[in-house]
Amino acid sequence: MIGVVPSLKIAFDALMTNKMRSVLTMLGIIIGVAAVIVMLALGNGARMMLDEQIKSIGSNLLIVLPGASTASGVRMGSGTQLTLTLSDAEAIKKQCPAVLYVAPVDSGVAQVMYGNQNWSTLVTGTTPSMFDLRDWPIASGRYFTQDDVKAAAKVCLLGKTVVDNLFGAINPIGQIIRIKNVPFTVIGVLAEKGQSPNGQDQDDAIYVPVTTAQKKLFGVPFPGVVKIILVSAKGANELGPAEEQITELLKQRHHIGPKQENDFTVKNLTQILKAAEKTAKIMSLLLGAIASISLVVGGIGIMNIMLVSVTERTREIGIRMAVGAKTWDIRLQFLIEAVTLSVSGGIIGIIMGMGVTLAVATT
């Protein structure tokens, strides 16, 4: 029986004799391995990006929307009827045990000016709980307080995009900006958040006390009316109970009978985003499965070449067996050739796949 080392040398010599055929045979494995790595990396990258975006908007979130109005028998959709108030938000905070944070929101797009610079951005009136609810740290300065909300103080917090467009390299803390021609003092700059899951720049925003937004910027048809109420449950397991508690409480407060339609909607924002994350995971697995097909094709290609090689080298096989080689020796030689092609192609494919992945990651 011929040893493994001589068999390795014989197999290597046979592959080097047919360089072009060996390279073409490895090509299927190279492409297959590289494709699997790139596809899985892209899918995992998309999932990680979605995870970061989900974390950026806050955890265990519920959103309470006002009801739908009806005009000439046509329902206009959620949010068209103003049915939520600041007192509703206070009641949810105090009377719903599963709720951790509550933040009423009254927002609108406004033109903002500083010196000769101006910028159109989203101005959100809310309470200090918003920043706990969204786990949004401050980069410099301070948050506005509940006292600022009570006094309808003309103070504001800026997102990084607004700072870059209005101030450039100037420190914005303590500066006076004009929102809809109303002067506001900048008291803080929020840490960078990046894009939301729907692609919106979360840093292109200004936050002011909700009472200030209502009284001095946007106005309200009825005292204390807000557009939405954001709620954070105490934990993932508390989302269901929190939703039920909010629904029952608002039905009582709005005097809605058992057979009447609710004039509000409670949506589980976290579940919606988790569904998107699950979809991204499925797409990642699907991409990997598709890429694996090329890997299987590459393996079949090696099998075919080895079969052809056996047919072409029947004379060599006969001579070797005539001088004492056993059937296992012949099998070992072709097995080593196949393994060498597979391993070499796999290594090259891994290098190519990692290279493409890094190139995509840096663009």
- Give tens-digit pLDDT for 335-356: 877 788 888 888 888 898 888 8
Number of domains in the chain: 2
Residue 117 and residue 210 in one domain: yes
- Joined together, the tokens standing for residue 7 give 């068999």
Better-predicted residue by pLDDT, 63 or 36 = 63
User: How far, in Å, CA of 115 to CA of 11, rounded?
Assistant: 78
Q: What's 75's DSSP letter?
A: E
User: How far, in Å, CA of 4 to CA of 324, rounded?
Assistant: 16
Residue 98 and residue 200 in one domain: yes
Q: Tell me the pTM.
A: 0.66
Q: What's 267's DSSP letter?
A: E
Better-predicted residue by pLDDT, 130 or 237 = 130
Residue 17 and residue 157 in one domain: no
Residue 308 and residue 239 in one domain: no
User: Mean pLDDT for the chain?
Assistant: 82
What is the predicted pLDDT for the residue at 55? 59
- Counting Cβ atoms within 10 Å, is residue 363 exposed (0-12), middle (13-18) or buried (19+)? exposed
Does pLDDT of 166 surpass 80?
yes
Does pLDDT of 53 surpass 90?
no
Domain boundary among the residues 207, 237, 262 is at 262
Q: Is residue 215 part of a domain?
A: yes
Residue 233 and residue 318 in one domain: no
Residue 300 and residue 234 in one domain: no
- pLDDT average, residue stretch 94-116: 92
Residue 253 and residue 193 in one domain: yes
Residues 29/302, Cβ–Cβ less than 8 Å = yes
Per-residue pLDDT tens digits for 82-103: 788 999 999 999 999 999 999 9
Residue 336 and residue 295 in one domain: yes
- Joined together, the tokens standing for residue 44 give 């995992």
Better-predicted residue by pLDDT, 247 or 274 = 247
Q: Is residue 64 part of a domain?
A: no
Residue 133 and residue 183 in one domain: yes
Domain boundary among the residues 231, 262, 293 is at 262
Does pLDDT of 235 surpass 50?
yes
Q: Which residue range forms the structural domain that includes residue 328?
A: 4-51+276-362
Domain boundary among the residues 196, 228, 262 is at 262
What is the predicted pLDDT for the residue at 274? 66
Query: Residue 302: how many CA atoms within 13 Å on its side-chain side?
Result: 26
- Joined together, the tokens standing for residue 172 give 């914005």
Dihedral sign computed on CA atoms, order 299, 301, 302, 307: positive
User: Which of 2-11, 23-32, 79-88, 245-254 comes out lowest in average pLDDT?
Assistant: 2-11
